[in-house]
Amino acid sequence: MTVDSNTTGTLSLGTGNNAKTIAIGTGTAGNAINIGTDNTTKDTINIGSALDDVAITGDQWSITNAGVLTVASCTGCGGSSGFVYYAKNADQSVNNSTTLTDETALQVTLGASEEWNILWHLMVTNSNDAGGDWKSAVKGAASTACTAVLSGTEPAGAAFPQATTTDCDNAPTAMANGTIAADVNVPFEVLMTANVTAPAGGATMIAQWAQNTQDVSNLTIKAGSFVQAFQVTGADLAEVYSSAEPIDRGYVVSIDPTLTSGVKKSEQAYDRNVLGVVSTRPGLLIGDNKEGFPVMVALAGRVPVKVTSENGLIRAGDLLTASSTPGVAMRATKAGQIIGQAITSWSGEGIGEVLAFVKASYGHGAKLSDIFPGLSQEETGRSVLTQFIYQKEQLTTSVDLSEIVTDRVAAGLEVVAPRVLADEIVARNAIFSGEVVASRLRADQIVGLDVMLASISAESSISGVSTSLAGFAHIFEIANDVVSFIKQILFRAPVEFAAEVVFRDRVTFDSDTAGIAVIPKSTTSVDVVFEKPYETPPIVTISLVLKEATDSAFLTEAGKAAVAAVTEKGFTIVLNEPVPRDLEYNWVAIAIADAKRTVGKTLEEGGTTLLPTPSATVTPTATPVPTPTPEASPSATLTPTPTPLTSTVTILSNELGFVRVRDGPSIDASEIGQIPSGETVPYDDVQYGWYHVTHEEKTGWISGTFVEDSKEL
């Protein structure tokens, strides 16, 4: 049905003075109702007057491409819980003008006397021309109160000086930046933030902008710029989570792993998954709901919280945690997750409410003096222990245990617990009021035990283990005046034996008593350092170690070794000359108390010396000298040059049937051949008991242990 006069004029519905109902599209067929949809000429559409209430119902509605939308007063126009967000879908430009221009898409409408925080986030280009710069303002209604700040990021990261104003009425003061650089065709960021309180008639807040210096190049706000604003209503910051069921304000919630960003009412005392409290009226709301019912969980600030006296009366300052009542908080008296701190008190029955400061964190429990007021320190410890013992069974079955895992616990006064489990306990003093059960007892001294032993040894009727020492029967036994230790005994202090000590088995000493020292080849010494210094220099002895029994020939080449520079900290083994191989020595160091030093008598003091007995001298008998007979002088003869004698060695019989020929005078040298037993070979040099021989056109060294030298025959 079309109602149109087809000429200019006015088309009126229900303009009379009688009350009437005008229904448009109220059928059930799903109507499409279009008002002013012709884009040829701008339409002005008026709905209601200042006296009318206009309601738009339904969970989804929007006004798009509206041009200028004027709403005098609106409840809920800001979106969910006083939050709005608009994005610009088309560029808007000015040029050659310093007159402030209204931004057309990013406008926020405030109700009467409402307080809002607004952020305009603008992406701007200046056509790569630094001449125009920037200025802007926040425009509202007359008597609008505000504090606004202009900031941003200039092209190439240059500093964007801040500007502020408190003038946000219908003729606002501009905030300017006169040093904007050319943008190189890359948008730069301009931010305007404002805290605004609308007058009694409400206000629509509009961002205005222009060139600060008149310039022919375009200054453009780009599509994608946006405004976001939230109404300042409550005293907390909240975030939207999801829930499988509606959860009312003030209830304590825990993580629900079955939902994305899901929560549910807390389910047990000291719930380790407790997250926070459902906000009553958030001052700032962030996040969105992905599934289920939206739940606003307070992140910071003050919120009302539902509480119970399950764990005692609640006083201002008490930490709060989840109780065994679903969604209800209680006083936190031991370590565990907390949701906040009570600002007000509550001492009623059932479920009440306190104002709390949101503080989702981990608490370390209440002070013992708060739980047991009026008691002394000793009385408090005993009372706590009694309470812990009473609750021991209950704690392990009905409560989610609060636990602390750490590397070290330091307590200045005492540790109170029904049970302490430890691998080792070190204490200066220990008092046990009950039975002590131990598989092993070690002590420097047991006061009274020496008196007990003396008393037992004085009894003539001792047979076997005394009954008075029956408790120590697994450690030692006493028989025939002899104490026999059954277990290993560890002495942590010096032990002094006043009589002879007899060892029936081997004795093991530490590494400072004996060891091995090696002098590297071509060197003459090695230093031995004790791990723990002796009180006085010990007595040190050394002995040479041969690698093989057949290496005895090396005894002649080992050189002379001695111990030198013996101190409390160590000693040195020295040789009289370098040797061609490593030398290994065993050493023993023994600490001697008041070591006895004996010095022999000198000759002047009557000392003796062994002198060789002189051999008898035989006087020769004189022999007559015959008179020589003159002879004719013989003719001169050539004397032949004597041929040098060649020394030889013969290889003796041995288990191997041969002796090895090496490329050096040492058993560490490489083997280059073998000479069978019984053969005789020449040699031309001897070093360290090794012979330099020639055999089958090879020269090398053989050990003198298994040879017979022809010179010695």
Cβ neighbours around 211 below 10 Å, total? 25
Least confident of 183-197, 369-383, 408-422: 369-383
Helix (H) or strand (E) holding 690: strand 690-695
Cβ neighbours around 359 below 10 Å, total? 14
Cα separation, 650 vs 713, in Å, equals 11
CA dihedral 665, 667, 670, 674 (to 10 degrees): 90
Cβ neighbours around 151 below 10 Å, total? 16
In the predicted structure, residue 698 carries a pLDDT above the cut 80? yes
pLDDT, tens digit (0-9, with 9 covering 90-100), for 155-164: 776 778 888 9
CA 399 to chain centre: 31
**In the prediction, which pLDDT does 463 show?**
44
**In the prediction, which pLDDT does 51 show?**
55
Three-state secondary structure readout of 619-644: CCCCCCCCCCCCCCCCCCCCCCCCCC
Cβ neighbours around 467 below 10 Å, total? 9
Secondary structure class of 550 (helix, strand, coil):
helix
Beta bridge partners of 410: none
Least confident of 172-186, 566-580, 581-595, 640-654: 640-654
Phi/psi at 186 (5° precision): -120, 125
Q: Which amino acid is at 699?
A: T
Residue written as token pair 């691998």 = 423
Alpha-carbon separation of residue 541 from 442, 520, 558, 586, 589 (angstroms): 37, 19, 17, 8, 7
Q: Sign of torsion, CA 447 450 452 453?
A: positive
Choice between 571 and 495, residue whose per-residue pLDDT is larger = 571
Beta bridge partners of 658: 676
Length of the chain measured in residues: 713
Would you say 561 and 544 are in contact if contact means Cβ atoms under 8 Å apart?
yes
Would you say 240 and 287 are in contact if contact means Cβ atoms under 8 Å apart?
yes
| Of residues 289, 305, 321, the one with CA closest to residue 248 | 305
pLDDT, tens digit (0-9, with 9 covering 90-100), for 451-495: 555 554 544 344 444 444 555 555 666 666 677 776 677 777 788
* DSSP 8-class letter at 377: H
Secondary structure class of 318 (helix, strand, coil):
coil
**In the prediction, which pLDDT does 640 show?**
44
pLDDT, tens digit (0-9, with 9 covering 90-100), for 500-517: 888 878 888 888 999 999
**In the prediction, which pLDDT does 497 show?**
80
Q: How confident is the model at residue 589 (pLDDT cuts 50, 70, 90)?
A: very high
Choice between 35 and 205, residue whose per-residue pLDDT is larger = 205
Least confident of 209-218, 359-368, 525-534: 359-368
Which residues neighbour 252 within 8 Å (Cβ) at sequence distance 6 or greater?
265, 266, 274, 276, 277, 305, 306, 322, 327, 328, 329, 339
Would you say 552 and 546 are in contact if contact means Cβ atoms under 8 Å apart?
yes
In the predicted structure, residue 46 carries a pLDDT above the cut 80? no
Least confident of 63-72, 105-114, 502-511, 562-571: 63-72
Q: 243 is written with which tokens?
A: 């829930």
Which residues neighbour 307 within 8 Å (Cβ) at sequence distance 6 or greater?
314, 320, 323, 328, 329, 330, 342, 346, 351, 352, 353, 354
pLDDT, tens digit (0-9, with 9 covering 90-100), for 110-132: 989 888 889 999 999 999 998 88
Cα separation, 174 vs 98, in Å, equals 11
Cα separation, 652 vs 630, in Å, equals 57
Cα separation, 131 vs 572, in Å, equals 89
pLDDT, tens digit (0-9, with 9 covering 90-100), for 328-380: 999 998 888 899 999 999 988 899 999 999 988 888 877 776 666 666 666 77
% of the chain beyond a pLDDT of 70: 72
- For the chain, list the domains and their CATH numbers: 83-231 (2.60.120), 236-372 (2.40.300.10), 647-712 (2.30.30.40)
pLDDT, tens digit (0-9, with 9 covering 90-100), for 253-266: 999 999 888 999 99
| Of residues 91, 142, 143, 86, the one with CA closest to residue 119 | 86
- Cα of first residue to Cα of last residue in the chain, in angstroms, is 151
Residue written as token pair 């902008």 = 209
| Of residues 386, 412, 305, 303, the one with CA closest to residue 353 | 305
Would you say 124 and 92 are in contact if contact means Cβ atoms under 8 Å apart?
no
**In the prediction, which pLDDT does 54 show?**
64
Give the Cα-Cα-Cα angle 83, 86, 87 (nearest 5 degrees): 150
Q: 35 is written with which tokens?
A: 């008002």
State how beta strands 647-651 and 525-529 pair: unpaired
Would you say 84 and 76 are in contact if contact means Cβ atoms under 8 Å apart?
no
**In the prediction, which pLDDT does 375 show?**
65
Cβ neighbours around 297 below 10 Å, total? 24
Least confident of 279-283, 491-495, 680-684, 688-692: 491-495
CA atoms within 13 A on the CB side of 72: 11
**In the prediction, which pLDDT does 82 show?**
72
Alpha-carbon separation of residue 587 from 58, 543, 659 (angstroms): 100, 7, 33
**In the prediction, which pLDDT does 327 show?**
95
Mean pLDDT of the chain: 79
Residue written as token pair 């059928």 = 27
Average pLDDT over residues 599-607: 80
**In the prediction, which pLDDT does 601 show?**
82
Q: Where are the beta strands (DSSP E) in 309-346?
A: 319-322, 329-331, 335-342
Cβ neighbours around 267 below 10 Å, total? 16
Beta bridge partners of 671: 662
Cα separation, 77 vs 71, in Å, equals 9
CA 95 to chain centre: 59
Q: How confident is the model at residue 326 (pLDDT cuts 50, 70, 90)?
A: very high
Cα separation, 81 vs 83, in Å, equals 6
Whole-model pTM?
A: 0.35
In the predicted structure, residue 665 carries a pLDDT above the cut 80? yes
| Of residues 292, 289, 288, the one with CA closest to residue 244 | 292
Would you say 117 and 229 are in contact if contact means Cβ atoms under 8 Å apart?
yes
Q: How confident is the model at residue 14 (pLDDT cuts 50, 70, 90)?
A: low
Three-state secondary structure readout of 698-711: EEEEEEHHHEEEHH
Cα separation, 481 vs 464, in Å, equals 10
Q: How confident is the model at residue 712 (pLDDT cuts 50, 70, 90)?
A: low
Choice between 710 and 303, residue whose per-residue pLDDT is larger = 303
**In the prediction, which pLDDT does 59 show?**
41
